[in-house]
Every structure is written in C-alpha cells, then in structure tokens.
C-alpha cells in the first residue's frame, strides 16, 4: 500500500513504534472508534498508527492531519469495493475532521511523551 510515512519513521525500533501507536481513537478509548469496516472491505488502523507516529515525531499538526487524510483515502482507493467507495470516503473524511478539530490534546500529549523520551534518546532516532 502506498501510504505516506512520517520523516524519521525508518529509524524507529519496533518498541518505539509499539509505544506510540494505539490505532484509531484516543489511547485507552480506541475500542469506541471503529478501525475496520468489514462491509466496505477497509481497515483504517495503518493510517491511524502512522498518524500517531507523526504526532510523536512532532511533525506539524496540520501536515500530520493532511497526511492522515491522504492515507485514509489511499486505503479506500486500494481496499474498498468500488460501489461502496463514496461511503468509504465519507468515513475517511469524518476521521480526518475528528483529528483536525479535536486532536489538539492528543498532539500536545504526544509532544510531552516525546519530550520525556528525549531524556532517553528519543531525539536520536528522529
């Protein structure tokens, strides 16, 4: 799949990726947010994880959110049943609006975790 990866991604260890990725939704509350839409044939989790990493790597929020929308649309393009693509694009845009309008707190928390981790060489892998 041709997704947009944040700068610094290739230097991350599997442990760093696992620590910063929690799928779709806020950490601990992701079970509320669907990640897979079986009827549409799409799974947004890869885009959500890359978005989490963009925040953790302190990519500007507007760029992180824009890349997130592009990744969601790519997933719809590549995985969704053609007849249901308009519905897939609708869900992609709703996910994007959620992070664009409500993701400031998550962005700040990710920056705080990055700052704390910088004492443990977080910046060395960015």
* Within a domain: 4: no
Mean pLDDT of the 10-27 span: 87
pLDDT at residue number 91: 95
pLDDT tens-digit map of 31-73: 788 888 888 889 999 999 999 999 999 999 999 999 999 999 9
Enclosing domain of residue 54: 9-125
Q: DSSP of 71-110, one letter per residue?
A: HHHHHHHHHS-GGGHHHHHHHHHHHHHHHHHH-HHHHHHH
Give residue for tokens 């700040």: 108
* Within a domain: 86: yes
pLDDT tens-digit map of 63-73: 999 999 999 99
Question: Is it the case that residue 117 has pLDDT exceeding 80?
Answer: no
* Within a domain: 2: no
* Within a domain: 3: no
Mean pLDDT of the 79-90 span: 94
| pTM score | 0.86
Q: What's the number of domains the chain is made of?
A: 1
Question: Is it the case that residue 125 has pLDDT exceeding 50?
Answer: no
pLDDT tens-digit map of 85-109: 999 999 999 999 999 998 888 888 8
């Amino acid at each position: 799949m041709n997704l947009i990866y944040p700068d610094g991604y290739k230097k991350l260890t599997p442990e760093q990726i696992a620590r910063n990725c929690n799928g779709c939704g806020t950490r601990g509350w992701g079970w509320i947010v669907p990640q897979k839409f079986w009827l549409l044939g799409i799974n947004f989790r890869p885009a959500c994880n890359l978005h989490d990493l963009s925040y953790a790597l302190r990519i500007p929020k507007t760029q992180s959110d824009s890349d997130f929308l592009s990744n969601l649309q790519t997933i719809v393009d590549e995985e969704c049943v053609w007849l249901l693509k308009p519905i897939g694009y609708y869900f992609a845009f709703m996910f994007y609006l959620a992070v664009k309008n409500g993701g400031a707190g998550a962005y700040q928390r990710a920056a705080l975790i990055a700052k704390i981790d910088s004492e443990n060489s977080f910046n060395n892998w960015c």
